[in-house]
Amino acid sequence: MAQVHPTAVVHPGARLHETVEVGPYAVIGEKVTIGEGSRIGPHVVIDGRTTIGARNRIFPFAAVGGAPQDLKYAGEDTQLIIGDGNTLRESTTLNIGTAGGGGVTRVGNNNLFMAYSHVAHDCVVGNGCVIANSVALAGHVVLEDAVILGGLSAVHQFTRLGKHAFIAGGSMVVMDVAPYCTAQGDRAELAGLNVVGLQRHGFSEEQIGRIKEAYKILFRSKLQLAEALAQLKAEMGGQPEIDYLVDFVSQSKRGLTR
């Protein structure tokens, strides 16, 4: 049996792995599943059709799996799916999805959500992201892997942030941020490349050099976007880090932060 504090309220229909720990005054709803080795702190509320993987740690007063803050939501049986090894600090909030947005809010593995951060309905968060204190993700936002958002920043709905993007504290992001880039300000503008982050994630100097050249072609030249992409394909196509950048930019629907 899971280790459940006597003051916690766990619905009989909830499914908890035998190694799960549930702290005092926590509340866990009927449709909740929690995986091996996860620890649920005091006063945490987990509700909705929420699936939490292994080795997650959820700190006091977090509200996980609550109804979307969307006026169109009418009680549909949507989901929140959280992977393994995530940390949700005090008073974080993560909402289930909406029928109009695909029905699932999805979080990957090994992410850190600092205190008071918010993940709205139908968001997709990849792996290894850091969402600092009081960051707000609006609905349908996509964070790819290893994105870092500084404290008090916010992301507009339907916006995508590419892998290894870095958003400075207090920034208001209203358009897509290309992979590897740093953005800052209100409204956020590009401020260069996240070179330190790339180095920490094992990118070689040769790879970083190609990314720097691609950045110049995309954002510093006077080429139209289609021309810049064509040049990147012709000169550096076949390099995985460049092919990914080209695909991301080509698929942008909101437009790019520049």
Instruction: List active site positions.
Output: 121-122, 139
Q: Is the peptide bond before 187 cis (omega within 30 degrees of 0)?
A: yes
- The owner of tokens 């509700």 is 47
B/e letters for 39-70, b = 16+ CB within 10 Å, e = fewer, are: bbbebbbbbbbbbbbbbbebbbbbbbbbebeb
User: How many CB atoms are located within 10 Å of the residue 199 CB?
Assistant: 12
SS (H, E, C) 125-190: ECCCCEECCCCEECCCCEECCCCEECCCCEECCCCEECCCCEECCCCEECCEECCCEEEECCCCEE
